[in-house]
Chains A and B, each alone.
Chain A
Amino acid sequence: DSGVTQTPKHLITATGQRVTLRCSPRSGDLSVYWYQQSLDQGLQFLIQYYNGEERAKGNILERFSAQQFPDLHSELNLSSLELGDSALYFCASSVGTGAGGGNIQYFGAGTRLSVL
């Protein structure tokens, strides 16, 4: 168990809908990262928050947004869902910011999103 908790584990929804994925980082970790994993794309970085502030963005669609709350949990909001958004969404957390070798990212078990 990595200590990173993601809910829900599975989500099935229809095109055009909006969903929220939740992540609780490991105790003491201030950074939260969101990744998307699909069969043809591998693990792709979406966005990072550090202590409530957005720090970096990857190839995140405008339909997607995230935030980190004062208690450090994070939510990833996906709207106007399309079939191609079906994927595994992972949250990772780390103690610090920056992705240097000393800042190990620990991953949650993921949320499997199926858009029908």
Chain B
Amino acid sequence: EDQVTQSPEALRLQEGESSSLNCSYTVSGLRGLFWYRQDPGKGPEFLFTLYSAGEEKEKERLKATLTKKESFLHITAPKPEDSATYLCAVPGDYKLSFGAGTTVTVRA
């Protein structure tokens, strides 16, 4: 069964302090990797899909990268509004298998 592990569980950053989140996965055959953002009490919001090792995608202060075994979500010069839980997921035949998420708190 597909396995997704995210680290760290929680990350507290000062505004402007860049950092990275890790998502490692074990799948029988990678068919893409998804990143979502989830605010408290809300549904996951789609951010990126990565398909192959070496691929990178950017959106505002977020950049996602993919290797054969893991993905990183880099947050550059974060702002308080970047505070959220970031989830990564891998697709199986029908479902998405999610990691437990990294909760990011950015202090002003």
Interface residue ranges, A against B (CB under 8 Å): 2, 4, 6, 33, 42-43, 45, 48, 55-56, 58, 88, 90, 92, 97-110, 112
> Are A105 and B96 in contact (CB-based, < 8 A)?
yes
Question: Considering the chains assembled together, what is the distance between the CA atoms of A103 and B36 in angstroms?
Answer: 14
Interface residue ranges, B against A (CB under 8 Å): 31-34, 36, 41-46, 49-51, 87, 89, 91-101
> Are A104 and B34 in contact (CB-based, < 8 A)?
yes
Q: B7 → chain A, closest Cβ, in Å?
A: 14
> Are A56 and B44 in contact (CB-based, < 8 A)?
no
Contacting residue for B94 out of A2, A42, A55, A110, CB 8 A:
A55
Q: B22 → chain A, closest Cβ, in Å?
A: 16
> Are B94 and A98 in contact (CB-based, < 8 A)?
yes
Q: Which one of A45, A48, A99 has the highest number of Cβ atoms from chain B below 10 Å of its Cβ?
A: A99
> Are B91 and A101 in contact (CB-based, < 8 A)?
yes
| A105 neighbours in B (Cβ, 8 Å) | 34, 46, 96
Q: A109 → chain B, closest Cβ, in Å?
A: 5
> Are B91 and A99 in contact (CB-based, < 8 A)?
yes
| A97 neighbours in B (Cβ, 8 Å) | 94
Question: Considering the chains assembled together, what is the distance between the CA atoms of A110 and B42 in angstroms?
Answer: 7
Given A43-B44, A43-B98, A99-B93, 11 new contacts (CB under 8 A): A33-B96, A42-B99, A43-B89, A45-B96, A104-B46, A105-B34, A105-B46, A105-B96, A106-B46, A107-B43, A107-B46
Q: A106 → chain B, closest Cβ, in Å?
A: 6
Sorted nearest first, the 3 A-B pairs with minimum C-beta distance are: A101-B32, A99-B91, A56-B94
Given A99-B91, A102-B32: A108 and B41 within 8 A (CB)?
no
Question: Considering the chains assembled together, what is the distance between the CA atoms of A70 and B61 in angstroms?
Answer: 42
| B36 neighbours in A (Cβ, 8 Å) | 107
